[in-house]
Amino acid sequence: MKKLNLKYLLACLVIIVCLFVASGCPLPSIVTTPPTSPPADSTANPIDPGWTPPSIDGQALILPSIADVVALVRPSVVAINTKYTGYDIFNRPFTQQGAGSGWIIDEYGLIVTNNHVVENADSVTVTLVDGRTFSAETVRTDWLSDLAIVKVNAGNLPSAKVGDSDVPRVGDWVVAIGNSLGMGISATKGIVSAKGVSISVSEGQTLDDLLQTDAAINPGNSGGPLVNMAGEVIGITSVKTAQVGVEGMGYAISSNTARPIIQQLVQKGYVVRPFLGVQNLLTVDQSVAAFYSLSVDQGALLRGVLAGGPADQAGMQAGDVITKFDDQDIAGVNELLKALYSAQVGQEVEITFWRGNIQNTTRLTLAERPPS
């Protein structure tokens, strides 16, 4: 019924139009109104008739040659190749290989790299730009700072200069040199994007005082130098943010942070740090609190206390949750370790912890962490 009515209305409309045309009457026209002139106070009036754009300065500084920097530093950069023993699903051993970078800090064979480049390797081989290859005599590592020293039996090596990482400003040019993708020593350039960055790498491991750069950092670059335009090492390439949609976010351990750690690795073979005498730490959140039936939902859960250590001597036990270290609130493992490693060996500290539904406070003296 509705379709018939619509056809009927359309037919009537056509008949009416035809009658208008046959009678000589003009069809109604659409009337448009011309635009009016803008009011006197509109934006069409000039702001400043006498204004002229700034003149071109023409005094821009000529950028330093990156090629000169690379030529200066490249002989000090080494490729590091490692071999590991892996096991398949049938527990059969097989050999895995890895590649990274390093740089010569001392002409008598001391090479700086990252801990994660050489950690647990069965063999470490160092190759210089000139093609010479050396097997590592000694490897000393520090997991917490992700730094390592490799010693090779060689002399008169081209060592790199170390710069002050506090001097560069955000926006200053830097060059990253390393064994990118294990394909030999190459260079990329960028700027210092940020300073003093902290990144949590894993539970209990946070790298602080990092230099962020947009210089391309690829697998194999780890352990290589980040240098300024004077060819001085101001950072050790360590980590990269690799996510979909993220570009140009690489990080280097600052030279000022690395220098005392490198010195201890060379002089002692390990880094001296305070020791609490606890192990198997776990960050407490709501799910952990529910699983372990804890009375608090944040802190650092001690799943192990070493016999004879400072915590054991202070009466602490496995299952305790540390919530305060001196005056610092402890929300998790990272906060506890940061507070601990900011203290000194032999320092007396106050620890607040929960055992069941009871909050306790104890004082203990921090010992020196035994070598790993």
Tell me whether residue 101 is one of the annotated catalytic residues. Answer: no
> Nearest 5 degrees, angle CA 62-CA 211-CA 232?
55
Q: Which of 101, 145, 146, 159 is catalytic?
A: 146
The CA-atom distances, in angstroms, between 152 and each of 75, 104, 130, 166 are 16, 10, 16, 30
Q: Are 140 and 121 in contact (CB under 8 A)?
A: no
Helix, strand, coil proportions of the chain in percent (round to 5)? 20, 40, 40
222 as an active site residue: the answer is yes
* Residue 273, helix vs strand vs coil: coil
Q: Is 88 a catalytic residue?
A: no
Residue of 165, 180, 193, 222 with catalytic role? 222
Q: What is the DSSP letter of 244?
A: T
CA distances (Å), origin 366, targets 215, 341, 363: 41, 10, 10
b/e string for 43-74 if b means 16 or more Cβ within 10 A? eeeeeeeeeeeeeeeeeeeeeeeeeebbebbb
User: Which residue among the candidates 76, 116, 165, 180 is catalytic per the annotation?
Assistant: 116
| Chain center to CA of 6 | 70
Output the DSSP codes for 12-67.
HHHHHHHHHHHHTPPPP----PPPPPPPTTSTTS-S-TT--PPPP---PPPPPPHH
Active site amino acids: 116, 146, 222
